[in-house]
Amino acid sequence: MSELEDLVGRLDRALAGADAALAASYPGDRGVRQPVHTVYVPGDSYDEKTVAQWAAESGRALAEHAGSAAEIAEAFDLSPELADAVYDRVRAKLAAEAIEDLRIDFEDGYGARPDADEDAAVTAAARALAATVRDGAAPPFHGIRIKSFEAPTRHRGLRTLDLFLEEVAGEGGLTDGFVITLPKVTSVEQVAAMVTALDALEAAHGIAAGSLRFEIQVETPQAILGSDGTALVARMIAAGGGRVTGLHYGTYDYSASLGVAAAYQSMEHPVADHAKDVMQVAAAGTGVFVSDGSTNVLPVGDREAVRSAWRLHSRLVSRSLARGIYQGWDLHPAQLPSRYIATYAFFRDGLDVASARLRAYVHGGESSYLDEPATAAALAAFVLRGVECGAVAADEVERLAGIDRAELAGLARRRIG
Residue 414 has a pLDDT of: 83
CA geometry: angle at 233 spanning 314 and 21, to 5°?
Answer: 120
Q: pLDDT by residue for the chain (417 residues), tens digit each?
A: 689 999 999 999 999 999 999 999 999 988 899 999 999 999 999 999 999 999 999 999 999 999 999 999 999 999 999 999 999 999 999 999 999 999 999 999 999 999 999 999 999 999 999 999 999 999 999 999 999 999 999 999 999 999 999 999 999 999 999 999 999 999 999 999 999 999 999 999 999 999 999 999 999 999 999 999 999 999 999 999 999 999 999 999 999 999 999 999 999 999 999 999 999 999 999 999 999 999 999 999 999 999 999 999 999 999 999 999 999 999 999 999 999 999 999 999 999 999 999 999 999 877 788 889 999 999 999 999 999 999 999 999 999 999 999 999 999 988 654
Predicted confidence at residue 417, as pLDDT, reads 44
- Residue 371 has what pLDDT? 81
Alpha helix ranges (H) inside 31-184:
50-65, 69-76, 80-96, 115-134, 154-170
Dist CA 234 CA 191 (whole Å)? 11
Query: Any idea of the CA torsion for 223, 191, 219, 248, to the nearest 10 degrees?
Result: 110
The predicted structure's pLDDT at residue 364: 87
Q: What gap in Å lies between CA 294 and CA 55, rounded to an integer?
A: 19
pLDDT at position 369 is 80
User: Taking Cα atoms as reference points, which of 210, 205, 204, 220 lies closest to residue 148?
Assistant: 220
Q: Are 119 and 166 spatial neighbours (Cβ–Cβ below 8 Å)? A: no
- DSSP 8-state secondary structure symbol assigned to residue 148: P
Distance in angstroms (rounded) separating the CA atoms of residues 100 and 327: 10
Amino acid at 245: T
The DSSP symbol for 284 reads: T
Which pLDDT belongs to residue 122?
A: 98
**pLDDT on residue 416:** 54
Phi-psi domain of 150 (left: phi exceeds 0; alpha: psi -120 through 50; beta: other): beta
pTM: 0.95
CA nearest to 59, candidates 20, 98, 8: 98
State the Cα–Cα distance between residues 64 and 303, nearest whole angstrom. 8
